[in-house]
Amino acid sequence: MAAPLVKALLRCSDLTLGVRSAALRFPGLTQVRWSRYSAEFRDPLIDKEYYRKPLAELTEEEKFDRELKKTQPIKAAPSAHTSSVFEDPVISKFINMMMKGGNKVLARSLMTQTLEAVKRKQFEKFHAAASEEQANIERNPYTIFHQALKNCEPVIGLAPILKGGRFYQVPVPLSDRRRRFLAMKWMITECREKKHRRMLMPEKLSKELLEAFHNQGPVVKRKHDLHKMAEANRALAHYRWW
Amino acid sequence: MAASCVSCGAVVSRRLLLRPRVSLAPRQVLWKAAELQSVPGPQRAIAYLFPSGLFEKRARPIMKHPEQIFPKQKAIQWGEDGRPFHYLFYTGKQSYYSLMHDAYGKILDIEKHKNQLQAKGLFSEKNKTIDLIGSRWLIKEELEEMLVEKLSDQDYRQFVRLMERLLQSGAAEEEFVQSFRRSVTVQSKKQPIEPVQRDAQGMAFSTSEGKRKSAKAEAVVYEHGSGRIKVNGIDYLLYFPVLQDREQLMFPFHFLDRLGKHDVTCTVSGGGRSAQAGAIRLAVARALCSFVTEEEVEWMRQAGLLTSDPRVRERKKPGQEGARRKFTWKKR
């Protein structure tokens, strides 16, 4: 309940430079979501190119941002985040979602095995194919991963809205991050539940990723089902008030 | 028994001139500090050993200034006839509304002045932006204290919006606006940089400490080296079999483009594998500050390498299963 209020205030308090603590604290509401950092701490920015830009190339806004950052305390960088070139935010998020019970080592190894399996399968196809088709076969596992997740993202979602004592499934637009989350969630649930008993996660996940890359497979079918439901409930769209 | 003192002639009790009898009941012996200066040796020693709370400056009771104890209150707002002094008394928040009214009046004056200049053709677009970075607006509590009135959140936000509008309309009322701003410290200056030391062979090195959860690390970074890292005497590849931990060790070096240029020897204890890696990362980043320019130190701070991570394990609460997880709700 407090979350949308807090979000609204965050938008309003953008006017006040750096003064967030007073605006966010309501007298009647106790803060439930708190952190060990106080309100002034900003998130760290880990991008080597950003810092190495020479002063002449910066716009007025960027210069202002830089000066402002010098007065703000910064949180510590999280332990899964480095300036390494091999790091990918989408892959890190996927690993975190696959993780069970805090076992990041296992989740990360499953991810690397999946990417290796994808790469192996594509290379087998590449060597078996004729030279004309070889140009069409994508072998980079990271591009396959990104494209597969993009193909699984739904465009529109359904929200249950209570009207007249009944819940109606109303088509609703989804934000970018909700779409990405749904794509990853569906992929992981699909691989955990709908498989042979002894099939391992990397094997199943690589198979699903390759199918999604070609716009086939159960995850993309689930996306299409959702779109069809939304299309069927078009008439209820006016129930939405936001 | 009174006799005159030899040196100053002051009348001194005979008891003082006698062999000093140290009594543990100071009520019986009342000495004045001024007189003791003239009395040599043992009397001064006794005054030193048994200071009297009545005369010692440092023994005075420490009390806060009355302004800090008693909150600021408003004086009576109306005269003998019952008529209030301030014209905005009946708004309920007279100081706040009069402040807003004055600020808006200033905005109108500035615009009128600008229009007059434009009419004469003397107006020039001078962008005199006031430096907003080193200062911040008063927070709501500070403003309430200044006006001696309670404000609501909407009032405060409206005030800040009006002040920003006043800033934008021109740099004419700078002092007025600055009276509502407080300075903010520049964070980068707070980072202590370790001095560079030299060991027996003349190699320059720098030592620093780091902490994460319950792990403590101490790192010695040598200025010239080939990228070898030794943790508790063991090579880092054997001590940290997990790739993520080794990435954390490499992070400060990679960020500053100094990957194979330093040697590190560190000791770490406590915590788990990820906490130890985080502690070493912090220690290495702090030690590297001594070999690197101030600008790069600021970059490291903004990338989050120089902040000690305050997150620790949250305690389990009674009536719950864990720190946040509640017991399963049963209807009956």
**pLDDT 10s digits, B128-141:** 666 677 788 899 99
The CA–CA distances, whole Å, from A64 to A59, A68, A176, B168 equal: 9, 6, 29, 16
Same domain, A127 and A225: yes
- Do residues A29 and A2 lie in contact, with contact meaning Cβ atoms separated by under 8 Å? yes
Predicted pLDDT of residue A19? 36
Question: How much is the CA Rg of chain B, to the nearest whole Å?
Answer: 35
Instruction: Sort out which chain B residues have CB atoms less than 8 A from A36's CB and list them.
Output: 310-312
Instruction: Sort out which chain B residues have CB atoms less than 8 A from A23's CB and list them.
Output: 140, 153, 156-157
CB pairs under 8 A between A and B: 109
- Do residues A138 and A209 lie in contact, with contact meaning Cβ atoms separated by under 8 Å? no
Q: Any chain A CB within 8 A of the CB of B139?
A: yes
Predicted pLDDT of residue B157? 94
User: Is position A9 within any domain?
Assistant: no
Confidence of residue B68 (pLDDT cuts 50, 70, 90): confident
Same domain, A122 and A201: yes
Same domain, A59 and A155: no
DSSP alpha helix (H) spans, B256-326: 273-288, 294-302
Whether pTM exceeds 0.80 = no
- Do residues A68 and B131 lie in contact, with contact meaning Cβ atoms separated by under 8 Å? no
Same domain, A56 and A141: no
Q: How far apart are CA B261 and CA B228, in angstroms?
A: 9
Q: How far is A25 from chain B (nearest CA, A)?
A: 10
Give chain A's domain count: 2
Look at the alpha carbons of A107, A108, A113, A115 in this order and tell me if their dihedral is positive or negative: positive
Predicted pLDDT of residue B38? 62
User: Is position A192 within any domain?
Assistant: yes
pLDDT of A1 > 80? The answer is no
User: Is position A33 within any domain?
Assistant: no
Mutation to test the B interface, candidates A5, A10, A17, A24, most B Cβ within 10 Å = A17
Predicted pLDDT of residue B314? 93
pLDDT of B224 > 70? The answer is yes
pLDDT of A153 > 90? The answer is yes
- More confident call, B79 vs B53: B79
CATH number at A221 reads 1.10.455.10
Q: How far apart are CA B139 and CA B129, in angstroms?
A: 22
Same domain, A132 and A207: yes
- Do residues B303 and A46 lie in contact, with contact meaning Cβ atoms separated by under 8 Å? yes
Predicted pLDDT of residue B171? 75
Same domain, A78 and A130: no
Q: How far is A20 from chain B (nearest CA, A)?
A: 9
Same domain, A201 and A216: yes
Q: How far is B319 from chain A (nearest CA, A)?
A: 17
Predicted pLDDT of residue B9? 46
Q: What percent of chain B has pLDDT over 90?
A: 54
Q: Any chain B CB within 8 A of the CB of A38?
A: no
pLDDT mean over B18-47 = 64
Confidence of residue B74 (pLDDT cuts 50, 70, 90): confident
pLDDT of B147 > 70? The answer is yes
pLDDT mean over B153-159 = 94
Instruction: Sort out which chain B residues have CB atoms less than 8 A from A76's CB and list them.
Output: 282, 304-305, 307-310
Predicted pLDDT of residue A8? 41
C-beta atoms of A77 and B164 within 8 A: no
Closest partner CB to A77 (pick from B257, B305, B312): B305
Q: Any chain A CB within 8 A of the CB of B274?
A: yes
Beta strands in B118-262 (DSSP E): 135-137, 181-183, 197-198, 204-212, 215-222, 229-231, 234-235
Q: How far is A19 from chain B (nearest CA, A)?
A: 7
User: Is position A3 within any domain?
Assistant: no
DSSP track, B131-152: --TTEEEPPHHHHHHHHTS---
The rounded mean pLDDT for chain B is: 85
Same domain, A198 and A141: yes
Closest partner CB to B139 (pick from A22, A51, A72): A22
- More confident call, B252 vs A28: B252
pLDDT in tens, B269-292: 999 999 999 999 999 999 999 999
User: Is position A208 within any domain?
Assistant: yes
Same domain, A68 and A109: no
Confidence of residue A3 (pLDDT cuts 50, 70, 90): very low
C-beta atoms of A79 and B310 within 8 A: no
Least confident range of A17-21, A61-65, A68-72: A17-21
Q: Any chain B CB within 8 A of the CB of A104?
A: yes
Containing structural domain, residue A226 = 88-239
pLDDT in tens, A65-113: 888 888 888 999 999 999 999 999 999 999 999 999 999 999 999 999 9
Same domain, A130 and A230: yes
Nearest CA in chain A to B211: A76
Query: Of A200, A218, A214, which Cα lies nearest the Cα of A111?
Result: A200
Q: How far is B261 from chain A (nearest CA, A)?
A: 17
User: Is position A165 within any domain?
Assistant: yes
- More confident call, B172 vs B215: B215
Predicted ipTM > 0.85: no
